[in-house]
Amino acid sequence: MSAFLLATDLDNTLVGDDKALDLLNQKLIQHRHKYGSKIVYVTGRTFPVCKQLARVKNLVAPDALIVALGTEIYFSFLDTNPNKEWSKILAQGWERDKVVAIAQKYPELQIQPESEQNPFRVSYYLAQWQKDKILSRLKADFINAGFEVNIVYRAGQDLEILPKNGDKGLAVKFLQQQWHITPEITITCGDCLQDKTLFNGHQKGIIVGNAHPELRQWYLENHNDSLYLAKAVCAGGILEGLEHFGFL
Ligand SMILES: [Mg+2]
């Protein structure tokens, strides 16, 4: 047994089965105490909404939080500002005003409340039936403007425009570098297709048993020895995967 870095999505991955979560929490606390393992939460939630969930579900205090789809990193729930070094990486090639100017030409895009926005995230609502048409046009607009952005459509309604480095997987890599942790002892966990950026690279990946059909399909097409599709749901699936890879 040795230290590892566990980076897990929250909703329907770590959180969703309270009993299994209690058991996993105990094991993670022990492992961190004994070996110095790191626990990282990765979520689309904003920092305040993530804090609420942590309180309600009694989540273990993490070593870092990657929130708002990778556009902010915090090292504690007590932090008041996101990590500046990560913000500097996000700022490369990012011009928020120009992003808004391009996007607001589309009446189909409805701006989301201020609470969902941040300096490195522009969030709109876009109806599912308009998605294909608008996304391809929007992508072409950014290419024509010589702009590299990361466009994410999720939950059948949210259109997110992020910096090119605004990505949950890249945020995990940033933490690996900060802590000098290799991919071989990094484990990432998720439940939906949008989590697949967590499975790029050479780390170990756990897909929980309740994963969405799209992610299961992606697994069937891309599976390898570093990816594990659990039978158990949520935290139970994470436990199963950690045991499968020999981390617990
Ligand atoms: Mg999820």
For ligand 1, the distance from its centroid to the CA atom of residue 200, given in whole angstroms, is 17
Q: Are residues 102 and 42 in the same domain?
A: no
Distances (CA, A) of 94 to 47, 118, 121: 21, 13, 10
CATH of the domain at 199: 3.40.50.1000
The tokens for 6 are 């566990």
Same domain, 75 and 172: yes
* d(C-alpha 7, C-alpha 27), whole Å: 15
What is the whole-number distance in angstroms between the Cα of residue 1 and the centre of ligand 1? 28
Same domain, 26 and 128: no
Ligand 1 centroid distance, CA of 53 (Å): 13
Please check whether residues 222 and 204 belong to one and the same domain: yes
Q: CATH number, domain at 155?
A: 3.90.1070.10
Phi-psi region at 118: left, alpha or beta (left = phi > 0; alpha = psi -120 to 50)? beta
Identify the domain containing residue 22 by its residue range.
5-88+166-244
187 shares a domain with 128: no
On whether both 119 and 152 belong to a single domain, the answer is yes
Q: Which of 130, 163, 196 is the last residue of a domain?
A: 163
Q: Which of the residues in the chain have pLDDT under 50?
A: none
Do both 170 and 84 map to the same domain?
yes
Same domain, residue pair 75 and 171:
yes
Residues 73 and 127 in one domain: no
**CA of 54 relative to ligand 1 center, distance in Å:** 15
Q: What is the 3-state secondary structure (H, E, C) of 168-203?
A: HHHHHHHHHHHHCCCHHHEEEEECCHHHHHHHCCCC
CA of 180 to the centre of ligand 1 (A): 27
d(CA 187, CA 226): 9
Handedness of CA 215, 13, 24, 33 (dihedral sign): positive
The pLDDT value given to residue 201 = 83
13 CA distance to ligand 1 middle (Å): 5
Look at residue 134 in the predicted model and tell me its pLDDT. 97
Pick from 115, 146, 163: which residue ends a domain?
Answer: 163
pLDDT reported for residue 17: 98
Same domain, yes or no: 226 and 137: no
Residues 78 and 189 in one domain: yes
Last residue of a domain, one of 163, 189, 216: 163
Do 62 and 177 lie in one domain? The reply is yes
Domain count, the chain: 2
Question: Per DSSP, what are the bridge partners of residue 7?
Answer: 40, 188
Ligand 1 centre distance from Cα of residue 47 (Å)? 16
